[in-house]
Structure 1
Amino acid sequence: MADVSLDLLTEWLRRFQSLVADNRVYLTELDSAIGDADHGANMDRGMAAVVAKLQEAPPTAVDDLFKRAGMTLVSTVGGASGPLYGTFFLRLGTSLGAESSVTAEALGAGLRAGLEGVLQRGKAEAGDKTMYDALAPALDAFDGVAAGGGTAAQAAHAAFEAAVAGRDATEPLVARKGRASYLGERSAGHLDPGATSTALLFQALDETLAGSAAAE
Structure 2
Amino acid sequence: MMDAARTRAWLTAAARLINANSGHLTALDTAIGDGDHGLNLRRGFEAVTAEATGDTPGAVLKAAGNALIDATGGASGPLYGTFFRRAAKALGDAPEVDDAVFAQALAAGLAGVQTLGGAAEGDKTMVDALAPAVTAFAAGGDAAAAAANGRDATESMTARKGRASYLGERSIGHIDPGAASAALLFQALCSVTTD
Q: TM class by shorter-chain length?
A: over 0.9
> Given the alignment of the two structures, is residue 165 of structure 1 paired with residue 163 of structure 2, yes or no?
no
Match of 1:106 in 2: 101
Higher mean displacement: 32-41 or 97-106: 97-106
Any residues of structure 2 matched to 1:119-130 within 5 Å, and which?
119-130=114-125
Which of these residues, 67, 74, 83, is aligned with residue 78 of structure 2?
A: 83
Q: Secondary structure at the match of 2:5?
A: helix
Q: Per-residue CA shift, 1:8-56, capped at 9, x if unaligned?
A: 11100000000000000000000000001000000000000111114xx
2:22 paired with 1:24: yes
Rounded to whole Å, the distance in 1 between the matches of 2:51 and 2:7 is 15
Instruction: Report which stretch shifted further, 16-25 or 70-79.
Output: 70-79
What CA distance in whole angstroms lies between the structure 2 residues aligned with 1:120 and 1:138?
Answer: 18
Matched to 1:27, the amino acid is L
Question: Which residue of the other structure, out of 47, 50, 54, is the alignment partner of 1:52?
Answer: 50
1:170-202 residue CA offsets vs partner (Å, 9 max, x unmatched): 001110011101111110000000000000000
Measured after TM superposition, the shift of residue 5 of structure 1 is 2.1
Matched, 1:92 2:87: yes
Provide the rounded CA distance (Å) in 2 between the counterparts of 1:194 and 1:10: 22
Q: Is the aligned partner of 1:62 residue 2:46? A: no
Runs of 5+ unmatched residues, structure 1: 146-154
Match in the other structure for 1:40: 38
Separation in 2 of the partners of 1:4 and 1:52? Answer: 20
Distance 2:73 2:115 in 1: 18
Identify the match of residue 176 of structure 2 among 181, 185, 192: 192
- The runs of 5 or more residues in structure 2 that have no matched partner are none
Distance 1:135 1:200 in 2: 10
Q: For residues 155 and 102 of structure 2, what CA distance do their matches in structure 1 show?
A: 29
Q: Aligned to 1:128, what secondary structure does the other structure show? A: coil
Equivalent AA in structure 2 for residue 91 of structure 1: R
For the aligned residues, what is the CA RMSD? 0.9
Q: TM-score, normalised by structure 1?
A: 0.88
Alignment match, 2:166:
182
Q: 2:126, 2:11 → 1: CA distance? A: 18
* SS, match of residue 170 in structure 1: helix
Verify: 1:203 aligned to 2:187, yes or no.
yes
In structure 1, distance between residues paired with 2:114 and 2:30: 24
Q: Which runs of 4+ in 1 moved over 2 A?
A: none
Residue 4 of structure 1 deviates from its aligned partner by 2.0
What percent of counterpart residues are identical? Answer: 50
Q: Is the 8 A contact 2:159 2:171 kept in 1?
A: yes
